[in-house]
A and B are shown apart, each in its own frame.
Chain A
């Protein structure tokens, strides 16, 4: 008798397995990343405890982590919409910048008088952010639907284009006394923060968490509802799972491509608006440490489930917060890459069962 490895196709995937592979991938990635870190002369365990302190150590730092998680949640949800259709929008970074530009226009041109009520200014900034992000998603969507142009490349090229576009305005038209940033926004354009209420509630003093996190939660609920109950969500899922069946069912695929890309872009644009209105308070060159790319991994790790995107975003926000402190700087990139790789490799476990079986040697 001998023990043999047998691989067979799964008929049904147990419910606990997909989340287990996500968690397993993160753990495995941390171990592997730690080994690489050790190899280049770091102290992985010390870094890990440092990571914990820098991310969850106190209410103050945890609030910082949540602030970083906010754009990730919104962008993760934005990516989930497109990815569900197997549309590879990797231009969330550019759509984020486009949204930031649109929102800045409201204050810097200014489009409306800045003595308008706060909710009007903020509301208009949200709309402009979503319109500009939406345009930046519409372009690749339209090109894909009309000319079958690969959306991966177009979304990526549009990232570079918008960053140069923003730079022109930051360095030239809107430059603050020649500095490479615009003037600080009028306070009417700032999203409310918990710290604003420190007079009434002492515990809030210095807490930077802003209203944007609510945008993220609402976006997750809306997209969850779309996936679960709406006709559009059903069409998106069908196109993603089986485009041929969708075509025969009479679903207009071109229209859905354009819609999904525009919607995805608009949400990413909202993330850009939330970031400059809630955190930076001006338009400047570096408003994102790669949120648009990290959002892709967040969406994937959450298996495109809008609610799972929230805790995953907090974890990755932790990586970004800690990444600012830990040297070398590429470590958080490396960890993200390994996590994603582990995750897609582990998908094989969802399709196949690996069993150890006893085999009669004489028969073999």
Chain B
């Protein structure tokens, strides 16, 4: 067990959750709940991996993955925005659809070795003691992009004019409409943005963080964890990033706990019987539930938090919101 390695690995896997969660924050801030993140991520992972194999370029793969996630999310957009279908059911169907598409189209990709996204070091910053090697060394460019993306998306949502429109559409769509904001158009846009980021997160797994295509095991429920993070983060990109990084570190810690003979001077029960690791494997999911309980209590106390028009279709000319 090495704290630096745990931090380094946590940052990498956490970045995946960060992009998916912030994508979902954009969609939810505009009033559309999209539970299809897992499906979009899996499709992105498959599309990125497969395209990289076909074109010999990981970057083209990444681009196609972003597009695949975005296009899939538009199905959810059409059904929830124009057909006013229930967003929960539509999101669930999107997960089925994305998973099914990814498994059918990804047939035969297992075991292939396409070019991957390379790791880079950031000069100067990498030589900061302890933090440098963990944060600025041997990471993919997307991890570094994540550092910039978090404050930028916070700034965009909270401090810019388009961000104001985004929030208005998710809080009071009728009011936004009355002053000439295109409610339908913006909702489509941010659902699409959310899909693109989920596709990117998927490709980040298959092309960089844990390279390979292992059918539905590739994402193994991370899309759902991203959705839980959004609630835990109370729709704030900074908290989503923090949660993502912590979650990533936890996953690494669980792996590392299984190795050594002695833990803190005591005999490691996992070393004697590796079957105890099943209990360790539960912990991320248990912690997600605990984090949700705290997040939900905080939201209930503040009476704010979730965008007030979240999940409610906007019908022009009808009274309400």
Where the two chains meet, the residues of A that have a C-beta atom closer than 8 Å to any C-beta of B are 36-37, 40, 88, 90, 143, 147-150, 152-154, 156-158, 160-161, 164-165, 167-168, 171-172, 293, 296-297, 300, 327-338, 340-341, 344-345, 347-348, 351
Contacts and interface: CB of A to CB of B under 8 A. Distances in A.
A152 B292 CA distance: 11
Given A153-B228, A172-B273, A331-B100, A344 B90 contact: yes
Contacts of B270: none
Given A153-B288, A154-B292, A337-B98, A351 B103 contact: no
**Can you list the 10 inter-chain pairs with the closest CB atoms, starting with the nearest?**
A330-B103, A334-B100, A337-B97, A337-B96, A333-B100, A340-B93, A172-B275, A328-B107, A168-B278, A348-B83
A168 B277 CA distance: 8
Given A147-B293, A334-B96, 13 more contacts: A40-B107, A156-B221, A160-B221, A161-B285, A165-B282, A168-B278, A172-B275, A300-B89, A327-B107, A337-B39, A337-B93, A338-B97, A340-B89
Contacts of A149: 289, 292-293, 296
The secondary structure that dominates the B interface is: helix
A100 B288 CA distance: 25
B101 interface: yes
Contact of B300 (A37, A148, A153): A148
A13 B77 CA distance: 25
A147 B296 contact: yes
A153 B83 contact: no
Nearest to A338: B97
Contacts of B88: 88, 152
Contacts of B278: 164-165, 167-168, 171-172
A168 B275 contact: yes
B227 A153 contact: yes
B105 interface: yes
Interface in B80-101: 83-86, 88-90, 92-101
Contacts of A347: 83, 85
A118 to B, nearest CB: 33
B219 to A, nearest CB: 13
Contact of B104 (A36, A150, A165): A36
Contacts of B309: none
A337 B215 CA distance: 17
Contacts of A335: 100
A157 B284 CA distance: 9
B79 A157 contact: no
Contact of A40 (B75, B104, B299): B104
Contacts of B273: 172
Contacts of A293: 96
B76 to A, nearest CB: 9
A334 B97 contact: yes
A94 B86 CA distance: 24
Nearest to B287: A157
A344 B85 contact: yes
B159 interface: no
A332 B100 CA distance: 7
Given A148-B296, A150-B231, A341-B93, A334 B103 contact: yes
A328 B110 CA distance: 13
Contacts of A348: 83-85
Contact of A344 (B79, B105, B276, B286): B79
Contacts of A148: 296, 299-300
A93 B274 CA distance: 26
B282 A161 contact: yes
A156 B292 contact: no
Contact of B103 (A160, A333, A345): A333
B23 to A, nearest CB: 17
A188 B203 CA distance: 51
A334 B101 contact: yes
A49 B93 CA distance: 27
B281 interface: yes
Nearest to A333: B100
Contacts of B102: 330
Given A143-B293, A157-B224, A327-B107, A168 B79 contact: no
B107 A154 contact: no
B306 to A, nearest CB: 10
A14 B281 CA distance: 51
B94 to A, nearest CB: 8
B316 interface: no
B32 interface: no
B204 to A, nearest CB: 22
B282 A164 contact: yes
A333 B99 contact: yes
Contacts of B289: 143, 149, 153-154, 157-158
Contacts of B90: 341, 344
A172 B279 CA distance: 12
A216 B90 CA distance: 27
A40 B102 CA distance: 12
Interface string B95-132: 11111111111110000000000000000000000000
Contacts of B261: none
B142 interface: no
A330 B299 CA distance: 39
B228 A328 contact: no
Contacts of A340: 89, 92-93, 96-97
A172 B102 CA distance: 34
A164 B279 contact: yes
Highest count of chain A CB atoms <10 Å: which of B96, B105, B106: B96
Nearest to B224: A156
Contacts of B285: 157-158, 160-161
Residue from the set A150, A296, A332, A341 with the largest chain B CB neighbour count within 10 Å: A341
Given A150-B231, A336-B100, A338-B97, A90 B92 contact: yes
A328 B107 CA distance: 6
B211 to A, nearest CB: 21
B75 A341 contact: yes
29 contacts: A147-B293, A152-B88, A156-B224, A157-B289, A161-B282, A161-B286, A171-B278, A172-B275, A328-B107, A330-B99, A330-B103, A330-B107, A331-B100, A331-B104, A333-B96, A334-B97, A337-B95, A337-B98, A337-B101, A338-B100, A341-B90, A344-B85, A344-B90, A344-B93, A345-B78, A345-B79, A345-B83, A347-B83, A347-B85
